[in-house]
Amino acid sequence: MLCSDPVPEPSLTMVLRLMLLIVLLSYAGTLSASDGAATLSLELGKVFTFFFLTLGPKAVIGPFARSTAAMDAGSRRRVALVTTGISLLSVLIAATIGVRVLNGWGISTGALLIAAGIILFLVALQSIQDRYDPPDRAEAAPPPDLPVRQVAFQMAFPYIVSPYGVAVVILVLTTRPDFVSVVPILAMLVGIMLLNGVVMLNAHRIARSAYLAPTMAVVGSVLAVLQAALGIQAVLAGLRLAGVF
């Protein structure tokens, strides 16, 4: 493995600041959201909240810490950087292909909303149920000699680039209002992926911290409930678009 000059990892203070920024943006998106909207494509603040719930770092912290437990700091940095690049490229490609398929196959936005909502709800429900299971199903760490690229692919799919996350990106791009440019939406995707990279670089510190780990557990529970609510909202919006009510 080639040696390189050590790169200082982002501090936990930076992670906490980014998390605070996300909470503020999410709150702003909630205040500006319209209750009568029929799709998920609303103000940019709420779109950012959707991206964070479906493509954010909440699901990758534990798997990354376990998968890179036997690696040195340099290898962990490379895995985090490669995972970030793979995730960003993959979500952009998947969204582009998905938009073309949605238009070419005649799939209605309402149908995609219902499908994405069901998946969102089921995944959130499984996450909530897992918190009540006894901790006797610890996953075995992979062999330490796995290539960096292979570990990065295992982290990117499905922990970051989730199917329901891609569905939300497709919905946002296809149903965005005419006055909303695609540039800030793409900028949000890039920002979320960079945030994932920062969190992965600090995953071991977060997992070992006596304060951050419980905090992340509480945040994870809140996000799971919000994700379930988002799934129900998507199903209701899809039913409205389909003319059921």
- Domain residues for the domain of 213 are 39-132+175-245
> In angstroms, rounded to a whole number, what is the distance separating the alpha carbons of residues 1 and 79?
13
State which of 33-47, 116-130, 152-166, 199-213 shows the largest mean pLDDT: 152-166
Best CA proximity match to 41, nearest among 169, 165, 142, 129: 169
Q: Is the pLDDT at 31 greater than 50, yes or no?
A: no
| Residue 19 maps to a domain | no
| Residue 3 maps to a domain | no
Q: Count how many domains the chain has.
A: 1
Q: Is the pLDDT at 139 greater than 60, yes or no?
A: no
| Residue 11 maps to a domain | no
Whole-angstrom CA distances from 95 to 49, 72, 186, 223 are 18, 34, 11, 23
pLDDT given at position 78? 95
> Which residues neighbour 177 within 8 Å (Cβ) at sequence distance 6 or greater?
41
> pLDDT digit string (tens) for 67-109?
998 898 999 999 999 999 999 999 999 888 988 888 788 888 8
| Residue 107 maps to a domain | yes
| Residue 60 maps to a domain | yes
Q: Mean pLDDT over residues 144-171, rounded?
A: 88
| Residue 142 maps to a domain | no
| Residue 28 maps to a domain | no
> pLDDT digit string (tens) for 215-242?
888 888 888 888 888 889 889 888 888 8
Does the bond joining 63 to the residue before it have cis omega, within 30 degrees of 0?
no
| Residue 52 maps to a domain | yes
Kindly state the tokens that stand for 180: 């909303």
For the whole model, what pTM was predicted? 0.77
